[in-house]
Copies of this chain bind each other. A is one copy, B any other.
Amino acid sequence: MQIVAADAGVATGTIYRHFPSKAELFATVFQRVAGQEVDAVAAAAGGPDSAAIRLQRVAETFIQRALAAPRLAYALLAEPVDPLVEAERLVFRRTYAAILADLVDDGIRQAAFPPQSPDLSATALVGLLAETLVGPLSPQAADPPALPVNEFTQEIVALCLRAVSARSHP
């Protein structure tokens, strides 16, 4: 809190005129920033295109934004935080999942995707995206990425699309 106050150019006590506790301050910040990310992804999920195309766009948006702001993405996805912030993170992930669930639902209705639980598939996609990104984002993991960014993105997109699409050989 000392550092936050100094950074903001105010005294420590001043923070407590606006936020009841460190946890709530951090949760509020998380909420705002996460909201912007959600908005970007929600925008990518819209449009008149097929579910597959929209899913591709969502995944690309998610990945590109994460790679463009790795520290932020790491904070939003994986950094250890207060329980109150962790609760906010859960909401954040659920919101992503809700967007994806709608998308998957559309795909099923268009018969582009086979029957499946939209909620479960959406959750799986969130986990898939988050886990594949946490590696490269992790601040100390400075080892050079195994794949060039473009290939990396396309691989993950392919995984997402396959996961919810029909297989050739059941």
Residue positions of A touching B, CB distance < 8 A: 80-81, 83, 86, 93, 116-117, 119-121, 123-132, 135, 146-147, 152, 155-156, 158-159, 161-169
Closest 6 CB pairs of A and B: A127-B131, A163-B163, A127-B127, A168-B168, A124-B128, A128-B128
Chain B residues, CB < 8 A from A119: 146
Beyond A120-B159, A161-B167, 14 additional contacts (C-beta under 8 Å) are A80-B86, A116-B159, A117-B147, A119-B146, A120-B156, A121-B159, A124-B131, A124-B156, A127-B127, A127-B129, A127-B130, A159-B163, A166-B168, A166-B169
Bound-state CA distance A129–B163 (Å) is: 12
Chain B residues, CB < 8 A from A123: 131-132, 135
The 17 listed contacts between A and B (C-beta, < 8 Å) are A80-B81, A116-B155, A119-B146, A120-B146, A120-B147, A120-B152, A124-B156, A125-B128, A127-B130, A128-B131, A159-B164, A161-B167, A162-B164, A165-B167, A165-B168, A165-B169, A166-B167
Assess the A162–B156 pair: CB atoms within 8 A.
no
Chain B residues, CB < 8 A from A169: 165-166
Greatest chain B CB density within 10 A among A81, A93, A123, A164 is at A123
